[in-house]
Amino acid sequence: MTVTRRHLLVLPLVLAMAACSSTTQEGATGVKRKQLLLLPSAQVDAMSLESYKGELGKAQQAGKLNTDKANLERIRVIADRLVPHVATFRQDALQWQWEVNLETRDELNAYCAPGGKIMFFTGIITKLRLTDDEIAAIMGHEIAHALREHGRERMSTAYAQQTGMSLLAVLGNVTAENMALLETAAQVGLTLPHSRGQEAEADIVGLELMARAGYNPAAAISLWEKMGQANGAGGPAFMSTHPSGTQRIDGINSLLPRVNPLYQAARSSLGKLPPRIIPRT
């Protein structure tokens, strides 16, 4: 069979459509977008774990890992309350080897690597003077990224784009100047909006997680207000991978009527300490 130019252009689209699925259940907040997941989950998880272990090793060697015992215990207790509710979105996440670590760094940052590896930097807690509810908002947001496998999705999108660009180059009729324009268009029209969409999804799922764990979802608003004050006005949201502070807060406000009943129900049932899920070292 002769492979035509049309066949070559259609092939990546067919493969992409075949790889579209969703990593999570909808929950009460209704995240149900199909995702492009070309790369195997195990491969991405292994790469992420290697990177995470490397970061732990560097922090340990520098004497900056888990030295703030009070805040370390705070974030581990919060994780103990949040993690059981990941089953709302994906049951298999209960079997992840969850752990929480705290690195002494001034950066306003935290993340959750695939497989439940949570890292906070002391700067985000101390500089913003975070309450437990605000820490839960950050942690829920970062856990949501892991549940939705946003890292795997970004890698798959980059892979698909690279494949598509390579095919165009092989087929000819695309000058170096046009190729650069196509790459810019792909970044502005696909990569950046898509990343903003992932951030919005993490806000939505994270808000439900914290509400189900009995943390006040309204604290997500005060958190992002603090982040906005710390980071300044920043650039326009159109050229950012994150929604603007105003957009983010508006989105959270629109979701509060849905998650507040979950929060109230959780508060009424909180009568004892949750079982320890995060290992203490």
Q: Is 6 exposed, middle or buried (0-12, 13-18, 19+ CB in 10 A)?
A: exposed
Contact 93, 112 (CB under 8 A): no
**What's the pLDDT score for residue 98?**
96
The secondary structure of residue 257, as a DSSP letter, is: H
Bigger pLDDT: 176 or 172?
176
Give me 21's structure tokens: 């699925």
Give me 3's structure tokens: 């492979």
pLDDT grade for 241, boundaries at 50, 70 and 90: low
Distances (CA, A) of 267 to 157, 191, 254: 40, 39, 21
Q: Is the pLDDT of residue 161 over 90?
A: no
**SS (HEC) of 205-225:** HHHHHHHHCCCCCCHHHHHHH
Q: Is the pLDDT of residue 182 over 70?
A: no
**What's the pLDDT score for residue 6?**
44
The secondary structure of residue 277, as a DSSP letter, is: -
**What's the pLDDT score for residue 32?**
80
- What one-character-per-residue DSSP string does 119-171 give? EEEHHHHHTTT--HHHHHHHHHHHHHHHHTTHHHHHHHHHHHHHHHHHHHHHH
Across 8-32, average pLDDT: 64
Bigger pLDDT: 49 or 152?
49
Q: pLDDT per residue over 104-146, tens digit each?
A: 999 999 999 999 999 999 999 999 999 999 999 999 999 999 9
The residue whose two tokens read 């914290």 is 210
pLDDT grade for 30, boundaries at 50, 70 and 90: confident
Bigger pLDDT: 232 or 25?
25
201 included as an active-site residue: no
pLDDT grade for 251, boundaries at 50, 70 and 90: very high
Per-domain residue ranges for the chain? 36-269
> Which sign does the torsion angle of CA 185, 234, 114, 90 carry?
negative
Catalytic residue among 134, 142, 153, 199: 142
What percentage of the chain carries pLDDT values higher than 70?
75
User: Which segment of 11-15, 156-160, 161-165, 217-221 scores lowest on mean pLDDT?
Assistant: 11-15
Contact 88, 191 (CB under 8 A): no
| Cα distance between residue 45 and residue 114, in whole Å | 6
pLDDT grade for 13, boundaries at 50, 70 and 90: very low
**What's the pLDDT score for residue 115?**
93
Facing residues of 20 across strands?
Answer: 36
| Cα distance between residue 143 and residue 79, in whole Å | 10
**What pTM was computed for the model?**
0.81
Contact 203, 251 (CB under 8 A): yes
pLDDT grade for 72, boundaries at 50, 70 and 90: very high
Mean pLDDT, all residues of the chain = 82
Contact 10, 167 (CB under 8 A): no
Contact 83, 120 (CB under 8 A): no
Bigger pLDDT: 61 or 164?
61
